[in-house]
Amino acid sequence: MSKRILVLDDNHDILDVVSETLSYEQFEVQGTSQSETVLPLVKNSHPNLIILDYRVAGLNGGELCQQIKSDPDFKDIPIIIFSAYVNHADELFAYGCDAIINKPFDLTELVNKVNTLLQ
């Protein structure tokens, strides 16, 4: 059974590339561009890993990460935050994420971090 990954990014090009790359790596990928759909998707699909863009409309990726990690049912799901704001890594880790990927990012780095967190 393949691992399920939920991806939030409001840039449809990035969402498509990430989804295609992870699908190619045999992951089941569910993507969304709207932050308000993330929590219902987590509750309904119980992903094995979540990737959140930090800067999106509505709740940002950090706030979503905090909400997910504060739920006892989902606190152990690894979360990666995408961010173009490299110099704010300490602030991003304060939200409780397990890894940060800086934008622009290398697809090999993405696949390696996903595989590491899912082991």
pLDDT at 48: 98
pLDDT tens column, 65-116: 999 999 999 999 999 999 887 667 788 899 999 999 998 899 999 999 999 9
Alpha carbon distance 6, 32 (integer Å) = 8
Distance CA 57, CA 10 (A): 8
Question: pLDDT tens digits for 16-42?
Answer: 999 999 999 999 999 999 999 999 999
Sketch the domain layout of the chain as residue ranges.
4-117
Residues in contact with 115: Cβ distance below 8 Å, sequence separation at least 6, in sequence order: 25
Domain spanning 4-117: which CATH class is it, in words?
alpha beta
pTM of the model: 0.95
